[in-house]
Amino acid sequence: MVKLEKIDIYEVEVQRKSLFRIATGTSSTVRNTVIIIKSRDNEGWGAGAPTRVTGETLEGISEALHLIKREIEGKEFETPEDAINRAENLIGKHPSAMAAFDIAVYDLFSREAGLPLYLYLSERHGTKPRERIMTDMTLGIESIEKTVEEALRSKKAGFRALKVKIGLDFEEDMERIEAVRDAAGKDIMLWADANQGYSVDNAIEASDILHDNEYLFFEQPVKWDDFEGLKKVGEKSKIPVFADESAKSIEFVERIAENHIADGINIKLMKFGGIRRAVEVRNIAKRYGLKLMIGCMGETSLTVAAALHLAMAFPEIEYADLDSQFMLKEDLAEGILFENGFLSIKGSGLGVEIKKKTLKTMG
């Protein structure tokens, strides 16, 4: 049994190094709600990132976590899932708030067990863990010249995979796709994400250009609720089509799987409500033969570490887009290692240390 002796909730706001633009908007800062759960001997950390995908706000996440605090502080639980189920019963559908609590609980329980989280998870689920994961670096939407510059800079920094954001200007995108391939060379893996920006016809045309330029897959080409359109693009496309915004909850993942709407799912802890739910998505994907990738929202190393552990524990997760922490001027936590395009992490629990002075107490 682990007793959740004390729960503290904070807010953190960190600046990005530069403005990040995708088809659905731009952002200059990352704001998260942070939760710290203390047992007698250890601390577990988690955070929630508000996004338009789940429709949550920072204030809403904080309120939900305060409700959990009121009801759960001082209680003992046998497993992380017991604590997470209890919290979910309290706050209902609140994916990013649940992700914050879920990550902190898994961090705490794996620290109590003296194991890195990925080994704790792989032991409990009987999987063969990996020691490191390759990540891409995302190229936000900029002029073609700037995109090419960023591609070369990322290659020089050691990245072996790049995700090219498209979806604002179709004609320019087609040039961008080719320009990045030409600049990056054949030894760099490329994929593209339109963040819902295309019509079905444009998406099908784009998928041909992506295929010709040896891009590995195509993420969220059309509007999230156009399931028929997404399926049509998938049927015509010669490269796999991944659902991200369309796969905004477990229910939608089931719908996508049962109706063969996409070839793959982008797992994000903030969309599904943390690690426990992400494991469910992995189970559905396995059952239906869907591909898996893992991504993140505007997050810091704290929760990117949780996604990294999940991907290290579950080898079915084929691609990783865990790069939000690289885009921050000042990170909330440290501990994720980056070498030759691969991420790894050491130590028990999440394996990261929070810089507590960056935290602000909430209400």
Coil, strand, or helix at residue 335? coil
**Whole-angstrom distance, CA of residue 199 vs CA of residue 230:** 10
Q: Assess whether 268 carries a catalytic annotation.
A: yes
In the complex with Mg ion, which residue's Cβ is closer, 107 or 136? 136
Instruction: Look up residue 170 and give its two tokens.
Output: 């179709």
**Whole-angstrom distance, CA of residue 69 vs CA of residue 62:** 10
Yes or no: say if 1 and 15 are a contact pair by the CB < 8 Å rule: no
Yes or no: say if 287 and 333 are a contact pair by the CB < 8 Å rule: no
Q: How far is the CB of 74 from Mg ion (least distance, A)?
A: 39
Out of 69, 155, 163, 165, pick the active-site residue.
Answer: 165
Instruction: Look up residue 158 and give its two tokens.
Output: 């050691």
In the complex with Mg ion, which residue's Cβ is closer, 2 or 270? 270
Out of 155, 268, 271, 291, pick the active-site residue.
Answer: 268
Q: How far is the CB of 10 from Mg ion (least distance, A)?
A: 28
Contact footprint for Mg ion (CB under 5 A): 193, 219, 244
In the complex with Mg ion, which residue's Cβ is closer, 247 or 275? 247
Edge to edge, the sheet with strand 317-320 lists: 137-139, 161-165, 189-193, 218-219, 241-243, 264-267, 291-294, 317-320
Q: How far is the CB of 11 from Mg ion (least distance, A)?
A: 25
- CB-closest chain residue to Mg ion: 244
Q: How far is the CB of 220 from Mg ion (least distance, A)?
A: 5
Q: Assess whether 93 carries a catalytic annotation.
A: no
In the complex with Mg ion, which residue's Cβ is closer, 184 or 267? 267
In the complex with Mg ion, which residue's Cβ is closer, 219 or 263? 219
**Whole-angstrom distance, CA of residue 232 vs CA of residue 235:** 5
DSSP for residue 40: S
Q: How far is the CB of 165 from Mg ion (least distance, A)?
A: 9
Give the DSSP per-residue string, 122-141: HHHHT----S-EE--EEE-S
Closest CA to 188 of 156, 161, 165: 161
Give the residue numbers annotated as catalytic, written as ranges. 165, 268
